[in-house]
Amino acid sequence: MFKNTITNLGRIRQVVEVLLRYGFEDVVTTTALRRLVPRQRRRTWQHGEQAVFDTSRWERVRMVIEELGPTFVKLAQVLSNRADLLPQALVDEFAKLQSAVPPFATAEAKRIIEAEIGRPLGEVFSEFEDVPLGSASIGQVHKARLLDGTEVVVKVQRPDARDKITTDLHLLRELVKLTGGYLRKQGLSNPQDIVEAFERSMMQELDYTSEARAMEQFRKLYADYQTFYVPKPYRELSTARVLVIEFISGCKITDKDQLLRWHLDPATVAETGMDIYLTQIFEFGIFHADPHPGNVLVRPDGTIVLIDFGMVGRLTKQQKYAFAGVFISMSQQDARGMALNFRRLALTADIRDMRAFEAELQLLIDDFTGLDVKEMSMSALAERLQTIIYRFKLQVPGSVFLILRALVILEGIGKVLHPAFNTFEFVRPYGRRLILEQYSVSNVTTELQYTGQQLLALMYTLPTDLRQIVRKLSKGELRVQAQLSGYLPLLRTAERLVSRGIITLLAVAFLLFSGLSLLGNYPAGQMPYYRGLPAVTWWGLGATSFWLLVLFILTIRKEKN
């Protein structure tokens, strides 16, 4: 424990120095981080030959993330899909981050594989290429051949990946504790929740068996599809740190020249790819969340292949209906319908001004429905939607942003292959289909059954709950807990008024005492006089002056505050 504390302290000092170097002195000086770095260790705010303040604040945030390393880069990439939490300008900067890192030694990769599968490499693979196909912050991929001649790719986790990520996750939690107040002032209302969600995501990514399960699920869902294929994972050869997958040969979906050499119509390939992806979202509710061109391959026969299932998104049935409803309402120019579907979609939707929200959606509708089909852009629409979600603080499922991001990527792919490609034309029929499904007899029956079960459960437990309440009430054991908010300023004001009232009463009391002392009959020689007044009168006037002075000072201080 002590060693981890010392390690974290040293790492936090490094983080603080990076923040200072990139001009985020306010983050340090307004939080508990300021205690960790002496003034003499603060560096000049330069990024290479460029003055830091020649760049925007969001660019400097990206520079800080890049310098802090892979775990922070990974967090920023995750946040780049959450436009409900961050301003769009920062989301755009985070989208530029790349997590590629140099590969580690092949000998070390082989050692890890042998230790994980419990057998020498030669008993599993007849060939194993030393040069990796690619590498990232968590692992790298090698091509190999099984003993039966099947070509595979082997994904191997870096030897120190888990330790480094665990250390950085501890560090992130500490940083959030130290800077939580600052982050909340910047509009990030739940930084601790974000770190916890990211930690769950990272720990899942460190376990390759979850990716293998996702691939098997997709293979079952698309077993009957002739135009779509998912590589086979070899579960018997895979562990949490090693993943063996069937190797698929093909070209990137954006390699238009190769598609033409194979006598494939690029426009048809683009349409097929979009149909497959929309089926994942609107039919199955589980989708590949990172469909960039490197992860979408095309075989010579036109079959589309998805690889790298490390990031998978999911939608519930109700979320599917609400998401489709947003687009259907937009096509019908129904701002109120869009607002209601957004509220259904949101995890929490405490919209203070519903009229302003509907007005903003109406502006969006006016801007986009008046455009020609060729002028409409999924990228522009996604950006506007994300800005509205951020502005009105809607907490929507993270999968929604993964979908919007994926649709933007697919639109880019589509326009490379198909000049007249329009994403909206593909989404519209799926939306209508889902609306019909939502109000189908079978779905309505299912919803009624669920509602009936809930009512029966309530009727079953209600008598018992009422008896318990009555029993506690009769015994005087019923307690009501009320939580008040916003009363502290009122209490402080009341405290000040009471204090001043007491001081005023003291001043008045001494003033009355001074007046009454003039009526006293004092024996000669027992009461000294000064300027014709008894000494006791002067003492009363002095006390009155003192309390009036105190009251005056308190009043002046209040006015200054």
Contact 22, 45 (CB under 8 A): yes
Counting other chains too, the contacts that 474-483 makes at CB distance below 8 Å and 24 or more residues apart are: none
The strand pairing partners of 245, in sequence order, are 153, 233
Pairing of strands 251-252, 296-298: antiparallel
CA dist list (Å): 72 to 68, 193, 554: 6, 16, 51
CA atoms within a 13 Å half-sphere pointing along the CA-CB vector of 161: 25
Q: Nearest Cα to 276, choosing from 431, 437, 426? A: 426
Q: Kindly name the residue from 84, 168, 255, 290 that is annotated as catalytic.
A: 290
Active site annotation includes 353: no
Distance in angstroms between the alpha carbons of the first and the last residue of the chain: 46
CA 178 to chain centre: 19
Distance CA 76, CA 351 (A): 27
Q: Specify burial of residue 451 (Cβ count, 10 A radius: 0-12, 13-18, 19+).
A: exposed
Tell me the one-letter amino acid at 359.
A
Phi and psi of 44, rounded to 5°? -70, 140
DSSP state of 157: E
Coil, helix or strand at residue 466: helix
CA 234 to chain centre: 33
Which residues lie closer than 8 Å to 113 by C-beta, 6 or more apart?
121, 154, 156, 242
CA dist list (Å): 40 to 11, 16, 24, 37, 67: 18, 13, 17, 8, 21
Token digits of residue 472: 């506690």
Contact 304, 272 (CB under 8 A): yes
| Active-site amino acid positions | 290
